Amino acid sequence: MNEMLLKVKAILSTTPSRWKSLAETLPVQLLTRPPAPKEWSALECLLHLLDTEQWVFPPRVQAFLAGRDLEAFNPDTQGIAMDANPWPDEIAASFARMRARSLEALAQVAETDLSRTARHSELGSVTLEQMLHEWAAHDLVHTIQAERAVMQPFIAGSGPWRPYFADHDVDAKVHR
């Protein structure tokens, strides 16, 4: 199997367990706390991954394989809104189930499919290989973003050690 496909599948297969661990272990107050105004909480990051698992990445893989253009997705206007009483472990379990199906579908992608192109409404012509790289990076970015949101109260309470966290401190970035 193609080395890039193996790496992408490795990232995509580990993401659900990372989220399951966060969702089952952390208090809901940490998961729903936004790091700063107008930024996503950890749980909102998970909901976004759930949205893209349903509406973006697997359908786009199918579009490439069928020779169709890619449909646009706007995370601000499409997708699941966060419930007032979220159940993070249930959301993580839903994500894991959807991702398992996605990985089964991804197994159908052959090395010769990677050069297939499709038209993206904003980016123009893109290849399946590029989109698979984006999918893996997207998983990592939003998992890191979630962990960064969870970090904030600990950074804020770290007293004289706070400067050591400047790269991750939302308040420090605002005051630079």
What integer pLDDT is reported at residue 58 of this predicted model? 96
CA distance linking residue 152 with residue 52, whole number of Å: 26
Residue 123 lies in a domain: yes
CB 139 within 8 A of CB 49: yes
What integer pLDDT is reported at residue 176 of this predicted model? 46
Residue 156 lies in a domain: no
Residue 172 lies in a domain: no
User: Scanning the structure block, which residue is given the tokens 């990076």?
Assistant: 137
Q: pLDDT, tens digit, for every residue of 45-56?
A: 999 999 999 999
The residue among 106, 161, 159 whose CA lies nearest residue 129 is 106
Residue 169 lies in a domain: no
Residue 164 lies in a domain: no
What integer pLDDT is reported at residue 60 of this predicted model? 96
Number of helices and strands in the chain (H, E): 7, 2
Band the pLDDT of 74: cuts 50, 70, 90. Answer: confident
Number of domains in the chain: 1
Does 175 score more than 50 pLDDT?
no
Please state, in angstroms and as integers, the Cα–Cα distance from residue 48 to each residue in 42, 94, 112, following that order: 10, 12, 30
Residue 166 lies in a domain: no
Residue 107: which CATH number?
1.20.120.450
Does 114 score more than 60 pLDDT?
yes
Cα torsion angle, 28, 29, 31, 34, sign: positive
Residue 168 lies in a domain: no
By residue range, what is the domain housing residue 61? 3-146
Count of Cβ atoms closer than 10 Å to residue 82 Cβ: 14
